[in-house]
Amino acid sequence: MKAVLTALALLAAAPALAEACPPAPDIAADLDSLIDEARAAPTERFARPVAERMWALWTQAPDARAQEMLDQGMARIRRADYPGAVAALDDLVAYCPDYAEGYNQRAFANFLQGNYRLALADLDLALERAPRHVAAMSGKAMTLFGLGELRAGQEVLREALELNPWLSERALLDEPPGEEL
């Protein structure tokens, strides 16, 4: 009887187990290499393809289902369907709560709607999962600027620029004040 109950419990749990998101791909070594390339790039023109390869890493979802949700959310962002994008990305983060890009893209959709507090919360979640996600860092800087938190935005932007000194947002960086003689 106990074996039958155990088998029934496993059968009942099978759909839930089948819907579990696998871990996100381990991109640490590839990202290290790309960060080194970005730092060594002599110009923005040389750094641009490096940044594109970073994006390719970050947008590599854990499985086909997650990839479809991410692609749908990003497509909706491109069409300016921000509520639709947020809904698709809500599904992604519910399915894959450890996948940083779901939070980063949902933050972007919220940022574009002017929902800076929601964007900031998602950017923090993305950066908890992927601390060297340069795009999430620059997005956080932009969001902090949008909230009027200029000093904090400058700090985060400096951190992002340490990883990729060729980000276009570098134009927003204030020069630190010099020392008085």
Over residues 158-168, the pLDDT tens digits come to: 999 999 999 99
Q: Residue 133: phi, psi to the nearest 5?
A: -80, 95
pLDDT in tens, 132-173: 999 999 999 999 999 999 999 999 999 999 999 999 999 999
Kindly report the pTM of this predicted structure: 0.86
The pLDDT mean for the chain works out to 90
CA dihedral 48, 53, 57, 60 (to 10 degrees): 110
Domains of the chain (ranges plus CATH)?
A: 27-168 (1.25.40.10)
- If we measure between CA atoms, which residue out of 181, 174, 164, 172 comes closest to residue 48? 164
